[in-house]
Structures are given as C-alpha cells and as structure tokens.
C-alpha cells in the first residue's frame, strides 16, 4: 500500500474522524448570528452558504504545521 500524506481531524469524545481532503471549514463564532451560534451548540447542521468560515485542507495545514515540507 502506498500512503500519501493526508491530515485528519479526530474528536476523541465521539470518535469522529474528518479527512481534510473533505470540505472542512474553520468557523469563527464571533461572526455568527446568535441564532446560528445556538443551533451549532445544539449540534444542528449548517449549510455551506452559512458556514462563514475559512476552508482548511491538507495543503494549507501542511504549510502551517510543517512549513510546506511533504
């Protein structure tokens, strides 16, 4: 098996694993309406139109943590 470098987000409480190859966004809750913030705290789904976040992926996280080294 040939492995490629892929970063994942892992939540130990739920066991959820999200590959950064998927569309993943970092959301700054300071920019959310009170209603949307409350919905997110309750675990509600947020549409892509509402996410108001910055896309995080393998490329920019590799640059952030590893200085661009593969």
Which long-range contacts link 58-65 to residues 24+ away (Cβ below 8 Å)?
Answer: 58/5, 58/6, 58/7, 58/20, 58/21, 61/7, 61/20, 62/5, 62/7
Domain boundaries of the chain, sorted by first residue: 8-66
pLDDT of 1-50, one tens digit each? 887 778 899 999 999 999 988 888 887 778 778 888 888 888 777 776 66
Q: How confident is the model at residue 56 (pLDDT cuts 50, 70, 90)?
A: confident
């Amino acid at each position: 098996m040939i492995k490629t470098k892929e970063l994942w987000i892992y939540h130990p409480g739920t066991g959820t694993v999200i590959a950064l190859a998927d569309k993943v966004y970092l959301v700054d809750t300071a920019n959310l309406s009170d209603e949307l913030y409350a919905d997110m705290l309750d675990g509600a789904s947020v549409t892509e139109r509402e996410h108001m976040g910055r896309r995080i992926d393998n490329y920019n996280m590799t640059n952030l943590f590893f200085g661009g080294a593969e």
